[in-house]
Amino acid sequence: MITMLKRLAKCVKGYTRQTVLTPVFITLEVIIECIIPFITAQLVNTIERDQDMDTIFKFGFILIALAFGSLICGALSGHFCATATAGFARNLRRDLYYKVQDFSFANIDKFSTPSLVTRLTTDFTNVQQAFMMIIRIAVRAPLMLIFSLTMAFVMSGSLAFIYVGIVPLLAFGLFTIVHKVLPIFRRVFRKYDDLNESVQENVEGIRVVKSFVREDFETQKFKKASDEVMRGFRSAEKILALNNPLMQIAFNSGMLLVSLFATQLIVSTGGEALALGNGNYSMLIVYGVQMLSSMMMLSMIFTMVTMSVESAERITEVLNEKSTLTDPSSPVYQVPDGSIDFDDVSFKYSAAAEKNALSDITLHIRAGETIGIIGGTGSSKTSLVQLIPRLYDATEGTVKVGGIDVRDYDIETLRNEVSMVLQKNVLFSGTIKENLRWGDPNATDEELVRICKLACADEFIEGLPDGYDTYIERGGTNVSGGQKQRLCIARALLKKPKILILDDSTSAVDTKTDAMIRRAFREEIPGTTKLIIAQRISSVEDADRIIVMEGGRINAIGTHAQLLASNEIYREVYESQNRTGGDADEA
- In angstroms, give the least distance from the CB of 179 to other proteins: 19
- In angstroms, give the least distance from the CB of 445 to other proteins: 19
Beta bridge partners of 499: 418, 529
Of 201 and 344, the one with the shorter C-beta distance to other proteins is 201
Of 97 and 172, the one with the shorter C-beta distance to other proteins is 97
Q: Is the distance from CB of 487 to CB of 427 less than 8 angstroms?
A: yes
Other CB atoms within 10 A of residue 150 CB? 13
Of 14 and 336, the one with the shorter C-beta distance to other proteins is 14
- In angstroms, give the least distance from the CB of 391 to other proteins: 7
- In angstroms, give the least distance from the CB of 498 to other proteins: 15
- Name, in order, each residue with C-beta under 8 angstroms of 265's C-beta and a sequence gap of 6 or more: 159, 273, 276
- In angstroms, give the least distance from the CB of 385 to other proteins: 11
Residue 319 DSSP symbol = H
Of 382 and 395, the one with the shorter C-beta distance to other proteins is 382
Distance of CA 462 to the CA centre of its chain: 38
Beta bridge partners of 363: 342
- In angstroms, give the least distance from the CB of 164 to other proteins: 21
- In angstroms, give the least distance from the CB of 104 to other proteins: 8
Rounded Cα–Cα distance for residues 531 and 373 (Å): 7
- Name, in order, each residue with C-beta under 8 angstroms of 144's C-beta and a sequence gap of 6 or more: 30, 33, 34, 290, 291, 294
Of 66 and 296, the one with the shorter C-beta distance to other proteins is 66
Percentages helix, strand, coil for the chain (3-state, rounded to 5) are 65, 10, 25
Of 201 and 445, the one with the shorter C-beta distance to other proteins is 201
- In angstroms, give the least distance from the CB of 17 to other proteins: 14
Of 171 and 569, the one with the shorter C-beta distance to other proteins is 569
Of 22 and 395, the one with the shorter C-beta distance to other proteins is 22
Of 245 and 526, the one with the shorter C-beta distance to other proteins is 245
Rounded Cα–Cα distance for residues 278 and 44 (Å): 7
Residue 161 to residues 72, 146, 253, 259, 307, Cα–Cα distance (Å): 33, 13, 13, 14, 34
Other CB atoms within 10 A of residue 293 CB? 16
- In angstroms, give the least distance from the CB of 584 to other proteins: 4
Amino acid letter for position 419: S
Beta bridge partners of 556: 548
- In angstroms, give the least distance from the CB of 2 to other proteins: 28
Q: Is the distance from CB of 419 to CB of 532 less than 8 angstroms?
A: no
- In angstroms, give the least distance from the CB of 360 to other proteins: 23
Of 524 and 572, the one with the shorter C-beta distance to other proteins is 572
Rounded Cα–Cα distance for residues 323 and 100 (Å): 9
Residue 364 to residues 89, 545, 547, Cα–Cα distance (Å): 50, 11, 11
Rounded Cα–Cα distance for residues 136 and 19 (Å): 10
Rounded Cα–Cα distance for residues 7 and 413 (Å): 32
Task: Sort strands 553-558 and 545-550 into parallel, antiparallel or unpaired.
Answer: antiparallel
Of 317 and 396, the one with the shorter C-beta distance to other proteins is 317
- In angstroms, give the least distance from the CB of 279 to other proteins: 8
Of 219 and 362, the one with the shorter C-beta distance to other proteins is 219
- In angstroms, give the least distance from the CB of 48 to other proteins: 5
- Name, in order, each residue with C-beta under 8 angstroms of 253's C-beta and a sequence gap of 6 or more: 166
Other CB atoms within 10 A of residue 252 CB? 11
Helix extents (H) in 269-356: 278-320
Amino acid letter for position 532: I
Please provide the DSSP assignment of 536-547 as one string: -HHHHTTSSEEE
The H or E element that residue 531 is part of is strand 529-533
Please provide the DSSP assignment of 274-290 as one string: GGG-HHHHHHHHHHHHH
Of 313 and 466, the one with the shorter C-beta distance to other proteins is 466
